[in-house]
């Protein structure tokens, strides 16, 4: 980090990006859709097509889930 000897911060260590520039970079131009976020958390059963909510998820082992409707064990995201 460079040292700037300016009028307001003589001898202070400051970052190259001011906090205003960081805020501008981090600010979103679009509004976040809560419905889209919730929909992305669901998992579909590969056997029966049931939409498994995050609260209903039951892991059989490290990669397999068990469907609460049909009881089938499957790897999420992989079709048969």
Structure confidence at residue 39 as a pLDDT band (50, 70, 90)? confident
pLDDT greater than 90 at residue 66: yes
Q: Report how far apart the first and last C-alpha atoms of the chain are (Å, whole number).
A: 53
Looking at residue 14, its pLDDT comes to 54
Top pLDDT among 57 and 15 is at 57
Global confidence as pTM: 0.51
Q: What is the DSSP string of 42-61?
A: -EE-TTT--EE-GGG--BSS
Q: Residue 17 and residue 73: Cα distance in Å, rounded?
A: 50
- Which residues have a Cβ under 8 Å from the Cβ of 17 and sit 6 or more positions away? 25
Mean per-residue pLDDT for 44-50?
90
Share of the chain above pLDDT 70, in %: 61
Looking at residue 36, its pLDDT comes to 81
Which residue spans within the chain are E strands per DSSP?
Answer: 3-4, 12-13, 43-44, 51-52, 65-66, 73-74
């Amino acid at each position: 980090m460079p040292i700037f000897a300016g009028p307001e911060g003589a001898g202070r260590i400051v970052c190259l990006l001011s906090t205003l520039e960081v805020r501008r970079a981090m600010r979103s131009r679009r509004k976040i859709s809560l419905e889209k976020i919730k929909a992305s958390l669901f998992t579909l059963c590969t056997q029966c097509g049931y939409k498994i909510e995050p609260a209903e998820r039951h892991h059989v082992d490290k990669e397999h889930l068990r469907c609460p409707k049909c009881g089938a064990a499957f790897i999420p995201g992989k079709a048969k």
